[in-house]
């Protein structure tokens, strides 16, 4: 199957404002692109691309004073198959973990392992290790937190989500990631596109989605605390320790995000051939 996806962000800047934007398709999915994921700026400005320390593709630019828009509209091939389940995936003793996973056992800005350590062991210490333990943590976060865009704030951490029991998809992910790390399971934060493919259409306007990956069974496995089901058509943009590492936009000066639109939907054969079509916004 083919999936059309993209975004349109409009900023108002009172002065020239340097920006870093993490909006490009993750390099691991670039070979699947049918139509390139190219960022376009209006008014046009030079856009430099670089790879950050986590392997994500980031755009670097300086927005001019006034109204400034960035957009992209890409097409990607997808298997059309729901994400796999591996209930036999085992948890690795810390001493045998690959070196590059150890970073994802540590606390980070939004994932305060020290604050939740005793609670994690109290709730999940008796659960069989491996897939069952990660799934139990994901089940807990999914059921424990009430979803609502009105509950979002940039300073909310996993501990805040745990005590307030409210949040958006990033808060579900932060809580589950933190609890996994407390249980000595490497876990990392992911952001990207997730459309309503193979599931009922949600009523909310679409945003970028957040989920997590846990290292069990000798590989990184995808889990989604917000939706808590295996999905079709997930498109990765960036990975990191938490949301601070993969912010959609990091700006170095005053600005106002005036308009924000994201879309992702199964594409028709005509769209695959490059035909222009109007995308209906869908919710992750």
Query: Is position 140 within any domain?
Result: yes
Beta bridge partners of 72: 7
Q: Are 168 and 98 in the same domain? A: yes
105 in the same domain as 46:
no
Residue 196: how many CB atoms within 10 A of its CB?
Answer: 18
Model confidence, pTM: 0.93
**Average pLDDT of the residues in 26-30:** 97
Question: What would the two tokens of residue 90 be?
Answer: 């085992």
Residue 279 lies in a domain: no
Predicted pLDDT at 271? 58
Q: DSSP letters of 189-210?
A: EEEEE---SSSPPPSSPP--EE
> Does 89 map to a domain?
no
Total number of domains in the chain: 2
At residue 270, does pLDDT exceed 80?
A: no
| Residue 226 counted as domain residue | yes
Residue 112: DSSP 8-state:
-
Q: What is the pLDDT of residues 182-207, one digit of tens each?
A: 999 999 999 999 999 999 988 878 88
- Judgement on whether residues 98 and 184 belong to the same structural domain of the protein: yes
163 neighbors 115 (Cβ within 8 angstroms)? no
72/117 same-domain check: no
pLDDT at 279 over 80: no
Return phi, psi of residue 160, to 5°: -60, -45
Q: Is residue 227 part of a domain?
A: yes
Stretch (H or E) spanning 261: strand 256-266
Domain membership flag for residue 86 = no
pLDDT value of residue 204: 78
- Please list the alpha-helical segments (H only) found in 73-224: 113-124, 131-144, 158-164, 169-182
Q: What's the CATH code of the domain at 41?
A: 2.60.40.2250
Task: Give the range of the structural domain holding residue 221, as residue numbers without chain letter.
Answer: 94-232
In a domain? residue 194: yes
Output the pLDDT for position 30: 97
Distance CA 194, CA 206 (A): 9
The CATH number assigned to the domain holding 178 equals 3.10.620.30
């Amino acid at each position: 199957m083919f999936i059309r996806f993209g975004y349109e962000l409009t900023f108002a800047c009172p002065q020239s404002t340097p920006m870093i934007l993490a909006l490009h398709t993750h390099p691991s999915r670039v070979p699947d692109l049918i139509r390139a994921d190219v960022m376009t700026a209006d008014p046009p400005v030079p856009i430099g691309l670089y790879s950050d320390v986590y392997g994500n593709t980031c755009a670097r630019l300086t927005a001019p004073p006034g109204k400034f828009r960035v957009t992209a509209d890409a097409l990607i091939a997808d298997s059309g198959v729901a994400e796999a389940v591996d209930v036999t995936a085992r948890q690795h003793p810390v001493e045998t973990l690959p070196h590059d996973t150890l970073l994802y056992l540590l606390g980070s800005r939004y994932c305060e392992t020290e604050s939740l350590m005793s609670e994690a062991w109290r709730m999940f210490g008796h659960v069989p290790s491996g897939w069952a333990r990660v799934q139990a943590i994901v089940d807990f976060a999914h059921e424990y937190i009430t979803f609502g865009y009105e509950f979002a704030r940039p300073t909310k951490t996993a501990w805040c989500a745990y005590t307030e029991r409210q949040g958006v998809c990033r808060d579900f992910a932060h809580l589950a990631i933190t609890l996994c790390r407390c249980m000595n399971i490497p876990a990392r934060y992911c952001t990207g596109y997730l459309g309503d493919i193979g599931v009922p259409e949600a009523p909310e306007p679409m945003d970028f989605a957040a989920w997590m990956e846990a290292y069990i069974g000798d590989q990184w496995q995808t889990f989604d605390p917000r939706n808590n089901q295996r999905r079709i058509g997930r498109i990765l943009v960036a990975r990191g320790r938490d949301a601070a590492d993969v912010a959609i936009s990091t700006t170095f000066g005053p600005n106002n995000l005036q308009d924000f639109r994201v879309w992702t939907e199964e594409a028709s054969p005509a769209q695959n051939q490059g035909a222009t079509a109007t995308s209906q916004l869908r919710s992750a």
